[in-house]
Amino acid sequence: MNDMSTAPAFDHRVENNPDPVPGARRDEILADPGFGRYFTDHMLLGEWTPEEGWHDIRVVPYGPLSLDPATAVLHYAQEIFEGMKAYAHADGSVWTFRPDANAARFQRSAARLALPALPAEVFTASVDALIRTDIAWVPQGEEKSLYVRPFMFASEAFLGVRPSRHVTFSVIASPAGAYFPGGLRPVSIWLASEFSRAAAGGTGAAKCGGNYAASLLPQQQALEHGCDQVAFLDGTEHTWVEELGGMNLYFVHDDGTIVTPELSGSILEGITRSSFLTLAADRGHGVVERRVSVDEWRDGVASGRITEVFACGTAAVVTPVGALRWDGGEAVSGDGETGKVTASIREALVDIQYGRAEDRHHWMHRVSLR
Ligand SMILES: *Cc1c(COP(=O)(O)O)cnc(C)c1O
């Protein structure tokens, strides 16, 4: 396991919030945080210019940013983000999960969006700095975590179309409760037939806000059809299953093999995705990354060849998929309960994240002893 002996790779100043949320109110929030509704007392900010590179990284009181109306991100969406969590273990120590993988993906996303690379050690040290400052906001308890959102955006006030010459990096954090407070519940999925999330050669493999903007209308249509989430097909042939708006998909076959759509260039490579593939292989499952057609999904759940379908990502960890619906039909997998394979790999992952199982792959990074 990595420990805190590696000192932060940069000097940052901390300006303490003179008016933090009172402890009693914070405890109330941590008892039932929901998701993305409350934010901690501080945020991290950093600046980049071509002349100075990354500089002025600082932890300051959480609060609104003041932006010129001509700020480039508001017009051309030159923006990327990450999503990760800090977990409190039973002994009070606080850990993140594979922050090096988030740092590397942040660099890949930056390259696609013509944003400057943030060195991995600065990324991790920044996330650690904010978590340590707001350590009291890391909730204790089953399935709770502090959701951490690093992001970077074009902050130059300029309407010309070119990569911004002023870029801002920020990290904010928000306590999160169990995604499914009533326990895991299979969701229903609407098949987007008219719209794609991403195109060949587009930004689908980058974690950028624009991909989410493109997913909102189809997601709204899913809700109108009584479904919880939308599944996207490839943008060229409209045949191959890609992913949900923010989660990767898996198909468990009747011989125990787990199939997930291969990275096509327009699928976002989830860190939960790769961790799940590793844990599935550890548990003796065959693991296959290949193209999956929507017909294979429909026919497979109808014939029983596909026994479980699930989606995964950092926010919800694992979401069992119950039904796939489209105009004029549906294909139901399972019996409305979470499948056995889905549940057991999920447990293996959260046991590592919460320190209840040995971290054989050295995925955990200790942020604080508390
Ligand atoms: C973030 C994200 C995922 C999941 O990635 P994790 O690293 O597992 O959280 C999947 N799909 C999309 C489109 C995403 O933005």
Average pLDDT in the 16-39 region? 96
Check whether residue 101 and residue 173 sit in a common domain: yes
pLDDT attached to residue 4: 45
Read off the pLDDT band of 279 (50, 70, 90): very high
Testing ligand 1's pocket by substitution, the residue of 267, 314, 318, 353 carrying the most ligand atoms inside 8 A of its CB is 314
Average pLDDT in the 125-142 region? 96
Give the closest residue to 194 by CA, choosing from 165, 156, 149, 225: 225
CA of 271 to the centre of ligand 1 (A): 7
Q: How many domains does the chain have?
A: 2
pLDDT attached to residue 7: 46
Give the closest residue to 84 by CA, choosing from 63, 64, 106: 106
Atom of ligand 1 nearest to the CA of 83: 9
Average pLDDT in the 143-169 region? 97
Does residue 1 lie in a domain region?
Answer: no
Check whether residue 129 and residue 274 sit in a common domain: no
Which residue has the CA at smallest separation from atom 10 of ligand 1?
A: 247
pLDDT attached to residue 170: 98
pLDDT attached to residue 10: 67
Does residue 303 lie in a domain region?
Answer: yes
Check whether residue 144 and residue 238 sit in a common domain: no
In which region does residue 114 sit, left (phi positive, over 0), alpha (psi from -120 to 50) or beta (all else)? Answer: left
pLDDT attached to residue 335: 82
Check whether residue 286 and residue 168 sit in a common domain: no
Check whether residue 209 and residue 328 sit in a common domain: yes
Residues with CB under 6 A from ligand 1: 83, 207, 211, 243, 246-248, 268, 270-273, 313-314
Testing ligand 1's pocket by substitution, the residue of 272, 279, 350, 363 carrying the most ligand atoms inside 8 A of its CB is 272
Average pLDDT in the 97-105 region? 98
Question: Which region among 3-7, 96-100, 161-165, 325-329 has the lowest average model confidence (pLDDT)?
Answer: 3-7
Domain that holds residue 222: 187-337
To the nearest whole number, what is the mean pLDDT of the chain?
Answer: 94
pLDDT attached to residue 370: 62
Read off the pLDDT band of 337 (50, 70, 90): confident
Testing ligand 1's pocket by substitution, the residue of 208, 243, 248, 353 carrying the most ligand atoms inside 8 A of its CB is 248
The CATH number of whichever domain residue 41 belongs to comes to 3.30.470.10
Task: Decide the pairing of beta strands 79-81 and 145-154.
Answer: antiparallel
CA of 140 to the centre of ligand 1 (A): 25
Check whether residue 220 and residue 330 sit in a common domain: yes
Does residue 206 lie in a domain region?
Answer: yes
Q: Is the pLDDT of residue 276 over 80?
A: yes
Check whether residue 237 and residue 161 sit in a common domain: no
Does residue 7 lie in a domain region?
Answer: no
Atom of ligand 1 nearest to the CA of 312: 8
Check whether residue 159 and residue 255 sit in a common domain: no
Check whether residue 249 and residue 112 sit in a common domain: no
Read off the pLDDT band of 142 (50, 70, 90): confident
CA of 247 to the centre of ligand 1 (A): 5
Check whether residue 20 and residue 88 sit in a common domain: yes
The CATH number of whichever domain residue 304 belongs to comes to 3.20.10.10
Q: Is the pLDDT of residue 1 over 60?
A: no
Percent of the chain with pLDDT over 70: 97
Check whether residue 215 and residue 282 sit in a common domain: yes
Does residue 347 lie in a domain region?
Answer: no
Which residues share a beta bridge with 14?
59
Q: Is the pLDDT of residue 164 over 70?
A: yes
CA of 315 to the centre of ligand 1 (A): 9
What distance in Å separates the CA atoms of residue 367 and residue 325, rounded to the nearest whole number?
Answer: 43
Average pLDDT in the 186-207 region? 93
CA of 157 to the centre of ligand 1 (A): 30
3-state secondary structure string across the chain: CECCCCCCCCCCEECCCCCCCCHHHHHHHHHCCCCCCCCCCEEEEEEEECCCEEEEEEEEECCCCCCCCCECHHHHCCEEECCEEEEECCCCCEEEECHHHHHHHHHHHHHHCCCCCCCHHHHHHHHHHHHHHCHHHCCCCCCCEEEEEEEEEECCECCCCCCCCCEEEEEEEEEECCCCCCCCCCEEEEECCCCCCCCCCCCCCCCCHHHHHHHHHHHHHHHHCCCCEEEEECCCCCCEEEEECCCEEEEEECCCCEEEECCCCCCCCCHHHHHHHHHHHHCCCCEEEECCEHHHHHHHHHHCCEEEEEEEECCCEEEEEEEEEECCEEEECCCCCCCHHHHHHHHHHHHHHCCCCCCCCCCEEEEECC
Which residue has the CA at smallest separation from atom 15 of ligand 1?
A: 246
Does residue 8 lie in a domain region?
Answer: no
Q: Is the pLDDT of residue 5 over 70?
A: no
Which residue has the CA at smallest separation from atom 12 of ligand 1?
A: 246
Check whether residue 26 and residue 88 sit in a common domain: yes
pLDDT attached to residue 184: 83
- How far are the Cα atoms of 34, 174, 323 from residue 181, in angstroms, in the given order? 9, 17, 21
For residue 97 the two structure tokens come to 């999960």
